[in-house]
Amino acid sequence: MNFEHEKIEAQFAKYIKKVIHDTATNYYKKKYHHREYELLLDNFQEYSLGIESKEVIFSTALIFGHPIVLDDEKFIIAITKLKEREQVFLLEKFLMGKTDKEIRKPWGITRQGVTNLKHRAYKKIRCEYDRKK
């Protein structure tokens, strides 16, 4: 039973990391493509036809003062409802790539404390995300 729970938590953590990574990659690809290939055309259309250019819109969440750009609105809502400590944990874990051991040292908590924090954050995100379906 405990092994199955750990397996699900690991899969969920991998999913969160993949969503954040893929969203960031897609954002920068679209931004690069827009800047390199569409900007001049947009400027020409605006000039000649008076049409405003359309921008790709991504939602932005502030996590501990850091803007995080994601394209999944439900996920952003779930993250913003977390406590500041849980948001900082996710920021350090998935964006800064720190291990649980590296996270626990400055916070002065045990490895089990980090694990509990991680499980609470995942559970809150999952509950909020499922509620929005």
Stated pTM of the model: 0.52
Helix 111-131, helix 100-107: angle, nearest 10: 110
pLDDT given for residue 35 in this prediction: 66
Domains in the chain: ranges and CATH: 2-131 (1.20.140)
**CB-CB contact of 43 with 54 (8 Å):** no
Tell me how far apart the alpha carbons of residues 118 and 9 are, in angstroms, rounded to a whole number: 9
Q: Between 31 and 57, where is the model more confident?
A: 31
H or E element: which one contains 121? helix 111-131
pLDDT band for 129, please (50, 70, 90 cuts). confident
pLDDT given for residue 25 in this prediction: 87
| pLDDT greater than 50 at residue 41 | no
Q: What is the mean pLDDT of residues 116-126?
A: 90
For the chain, where are the E strands, in sequence order? 59-63, 66-70
Tell me how far apart the alpha carbons of residues 82 and 94 are, in angstroms, rounded to a whole number: 15
Q: How far is CA 8 from CA 3, 17, 24, 58, in A?
A: 9, 14, 24, 29
**Residue 112 buriedness (CB in 10 A; 0-12 / 13-18 / 19+):** exposed
What is the length of the chain?
133
Instruction: Supply the DSSP string of 28-62, one letter for each residue.
Output: HHHHHHIIIIIHHHHHHHHHHH-PPPP----EEEE
pLDDT given for residue 63 in this prediction: 62
| pLDDT greater than 60 at residue 3 | yes
Percent of the chain with pLDDT over 70: 68
How far out from the chain centre does Cα 65 lie? 14
Q: Between 80 and 40, where is the model more confident?
A: 80
Q: What is the pLDDT of residues 43-97, one digit of tens each?
A: 444 545 554 544 545 666 666 566 767 677 787 788 888 898 888 888 888 878 8
pLDDT given for residue 130 in this prediction: 80
